[in-house]
Structure 1
Amino acid sequence: MTVGSERYYTYLYQGRIRGGHVVQIILSWPHTAPLEEKALRCFVSHDLKMSAKQLLKHYTKRWPIEIFFREVKQNFGMGQYQIRALKGIKRLMLMIQFVYLYLKRMTPNNSCLGESLRQCQRKQKQELVKIIYRKAQNGVALKTIFEELKIA
């Protein structure tokens, strides 16, 4: 099957799942990686009228949104916020989107956002160790360093 400019192998199954709901499940592999476990994508739909091609087209457009929410939950702790007011939710999402877009812009093309964040965290820790090391070499007391870092 061809969706856009990409070719896929697909397998369509329609049947009941737990709870009695009838769904269609599409297993899909890129034409370049048939039956490779890591390349497998599984799509589930309650809309039995939608063809496999329509469903894959829909998901190819939606996939960047799914990636955004996964990365936001994993890297920004979005799943831990407990904001109830709509105004607060909108502000938080706007702030997260700005930070996300900035970081994506700074991330090399073939690396993931999470790796870029971890790299930034490593650099930040290294800089902190350098500061502590220099202060210790200059004879600054450990207690003073702790106080300056607000970890006393």
Structure 2
Amino acid sequence: MKAFLSTDVSLTNEEVLRYYSKRWAIETYFRTAKVHLAMARYQVRSTQTIDRYLALLMFASMCCIYNDPGDLIDVLHHYRSLKKQDIIAYIYFQAQAGATLAQIKTQLRTA
């Protein structure tokens, strides 16, 4: 069972659901930003810093979605998958070229 509550008793059920559906995209965006873009880890204290950070975050999100239309979370998963594939390909080609594991780790800055 799902229930939607509203403090504005003058709204109809349809209006409450319409407002909720408009708000849902905003809620999922900020949830994605907190979890996948590390938005929750930054501690900023001035309103100017908060405005700048949010502008940068939204710009980065817009760039991701512009290059690969879809939901932000899907785009982030797609880019992470591509990054993993690139790393695997890099390790494979370095191994084929005779690089040692220590050299590859150093190149990838994991050593």
Please indicate, yes or no, whether the TM-score normalized by the shorter chain is above 0.5: yes
Q: Which residue of 2 aligns with 1:136?
A: 95
Structure 1 gaps, min length 5: 1-36
1:67 to 28, 31, 35: 28
Q: Which residue of 2 aligns with 1:49?
A: 10
Report which of the two has the higher share of helix.
2
- Say yes or no: does 1:151 pair with 2:110: yes
Shift of 1:68: 2.1
Alpha-carbon distance in 1 for matches of 2:34, 2:4: 21
Change (3 A) 1:57 1:126: closer
Cα-Cα RMSD: 2.2
Large movers: runs of 4+ above 4 Å = none
Alpha-carbon distance in 2 for matches of 1:61, 1:131: 43
Alpha-carbon distance in 2 for matches of 1:53, 1:125: 45
Question: Tell me, what secondary structure is at the counterpart of 1:45?
Answer: coil
Q: How do 1:13-32 residues align onto structure 2 when only pairs under 5 Å count?
A: none
Q: Which residue of 2 aligns with 1:113?
A: 72
Q: Which moved more, 1:55-64 or 1:90-99?
A: 55-64
TM-score, length-scaled by structure 2: 0.79
Structure 2 gaps, min length 5: none
TM-score, length-scaled by structure 1: 0.61
Report which of the two has the higher share of strand.
1
| Structure whose CA Rg is larger | 1
Percent same amino acid at aligned positions?
A: 31
- Say yes or no: does 1:77 pair with 2:42: no
